[in-house]
Structure 1
Amino acid sequence: MFFRWDWLRPQLAAPIVPTLGPVHPAALTVGIFEDTLRAADTGGFLPYDKDRRWGGEKDEKVLREAVVHQSEHTLIPTLTRRGRGTVKVFAYGLRDSVVDEAAELAAKLAAAHDVVNARVVRPLGPETTHPRGTRIQLKDFAAGPCHDPGGPVRPVTDWLATVQNTFAPFAEAMAGDGLAFLHTQMQTGQCGPVLAAAIENRIVGAIGPMEVRPDAIGRPQLMPQYFAVLPEARGQGLGRVLWRAAMHWGQAHGAAYQLLQTEVDGPSDRLCQAEGLTSLGFTHTTAA
């Protein structure tokens, strides 16, 4: 075993794991960190990796030989060749000095692996005052019923063909939110349903794909979705209706929970906070 859990556990201010992203606090074990090291050796997906559903090969991997694991802090670097390449160092530790050490390591590894970007990812606890970056939020489906909100929302394939045909231009307009990628996946027929909101026979918002898969300890998790509403259609409550429809779908299909990452103080963040989700902490990413 590489990691000492009595060292690492006190350093985990937020439940985020390199190459995997947020995990349920109950799944946060030494085993899941050990799994990321084994995956680095094989280059494949872990069975519970949320990105496995897209197929292909795992692009990001832990740089096992460069991990720094000490009693007061742990630095776990990852490498991706996507684009111009990025090294990220996950800086686990309660002292602020861990950021400087992580930045130094990230810059060194970026040069060694001939990639352009060097980043430091700092997990922060839910009690953090004046947080920046990304909030990790938990939707617990056991907390209460998720009612069908009604409204102009249904799976894309349930709309009339004339409405379905408006999804492509909608997806292209919202490419920055991942909808163009989602549309490509939909065309392969290998992803779950996508819920769409339409006004006057035109799709103006969507959330999906809707899929439930087991996590690292076998609990059914509603997978993360792409979620967007056209700027001109905002302010009418469509985002809230879409999100509630997605939560209704997840609960109806047996999900125990969902984890979401939202930009602090952004529209999705404010929506999730208003809907009563539990904040599990934050991640703050900076250039090295």
Structure 2
Amino acid sequence: MFFRWDWLRPQLTAPIVPTLGPVHPDALSVGIFEDTLRAADTGDFLPYDKDRRWGGEKGEKVLREDAIHQPEHTLIPTLARRGRGTVKVFAYGLHDSVIDEATELATKVAAAHDVADARVVRPLGPETAHPRGTRIQLKDFTTGPCPAPDGPVRPITAWPATVQNTFAPFAETMAAGGLAFLHTQMQAGRCGPVLATAIEDRIVGAIGPMEVGVDAIGRPQLMPQYFAVLSEARGQGLGRCLWRAAMHWGQSHGAAYQLLQTQVGGPSDRLCRAEGLTSLGFSHMTHI
């Protein structure tokens, strides 16, 4: 075993695992960290990796030989080969000095692997006074009902064909939010339903795909979705309708919870905060 849980557990200010992202606090264990090392050796997806639904091969792996694991801090570098490649160093530790050490390690590892993009990922606790980056939020479906919203939201396939045909230009407009990628998955029949809202027979917002997967301890979770509303259609409550429809779908299909990542201060962040989700902490990424 590489990791000592009595060292690592006190350093985990937020439930973030390299190559996996946020996990439910109940699933956070030394085993899940060890699993990422085994996956690095095989190149396979872990059974509970949310990215496995897209097929292909795992694009990011832990660099075990470069990891630093000490009582005061743990630095875990990962390497992704997409494009020109990216090195990330996940910096676990209670003192801000961990950032300097992580930066040094990221620079060294990036040079060794001939990668131009080096980053440091710092998990921060939910009590952080002035957070930046992304907020990790938990929607627990076991605490109460998630009623269907009153609003023009339905699966894309339930809209008339003339409305469905407007999804392609909508997806291109919102490509930066992942909607173009989602559209390619939809066209290939490789993902679950996508919910959409329309104004005057034109799709102006969508959330999806709607899928339930099993986490590391066997609990069903609503998988992450792409979520976007055209800027000119905001301020009408359509984003809230879409989000509530997704939560209703997740609860209706047996999910116990969903983890969401929202940009601090952004529209989705404000929506989730207003809906009463639990903040599990933050992830702040620094480009070197």
| 1:66 alignment partner in structure 2 | 66
Residue 52 (structure 2) aligns with? 52
- Deviation digits for residues 94-144 of structure 1 (CA, Å, limit 9, x no counterpart): 011000000000000000000111100000000000111110000000121
Which residue number in structure 1 is paired with residue 216 of structure 2? 216
**In structure 2, C-alpha distance between the alignment counterparts of 1:252 and 1:287, rounded to whole Å:** 40
Give the total of aligned pairs.
288
1:169 and 1:266 map into 2 onto residues whose CA distance is 24
Q: CA RMSD in A?
A: 0.5
Alignment of 1:1-288 (within 5 A): 1-288=1-288
Instruction: Tell me how far apart the structure 2 counterparts of residues 129 and 28 of structure 1 sit (CA, whole Å).
Output: 24
Poorly superposed stretches of 4+, deviation over 6 Å = none
Q: Cα deviation per residue 1:181-209 (whole Å; 9 max; x = unaligned)?
A: 00000011121000000111110000000
Q: Using the alignment, how far apart are the partners of 2:218 and 2:76 within structure 1?
A: 25
TM-score by length of 1: 0.99
Deviations along 1:235-264, whole A, 9 cap, x unmatched? Answer: 100000000000000000000000000000
Unaligned runs of 5+ in 1: none
- Cα distance in 2 for partners of 1:72, 1:7 equals 7
Please give the alpha-carbon distance, in whole angstroms, between the structure 2 residues aligned to 1:10 and 1:63: 22
Q: Determine helix, strand or coil for the equivalent of 1:143.
A: coil
SS of match in other structure, 2:47: coil
Percent identity reads: 84
Structure 2: distance between partners of 1:151 and 1:287: 41
The 2-side partners of 1:5 and 1:81 are apart by: 30
Deviation of 1:81 after TM superposition, in Å, equals 1.1
Distance (Å, rounded) in 2 between the aligned partners of 1:183 and 1:131:
33
In 2: Cα distance, 1:43 partner to 1:72 partner:
30
Question: How far off is 1:150 after superposition?
Answer: 2.5
Task: Determine helix, strand or coil for the equivalent of 1:272.
Answer: helix
Give the TM-score taking structure 2 as reference length.
0.99
CA distance in 1, matches of 2:177, 2:285: 19
Secondary structure of 2:121's counterpart equals: strand
User: One-letter code of the match for 1:169?
Assistant: P
**Hey, what's the Cα distance between the residues in 2 that align with 1:17 and 1:71?**
18
SS at match of 1:142: coil
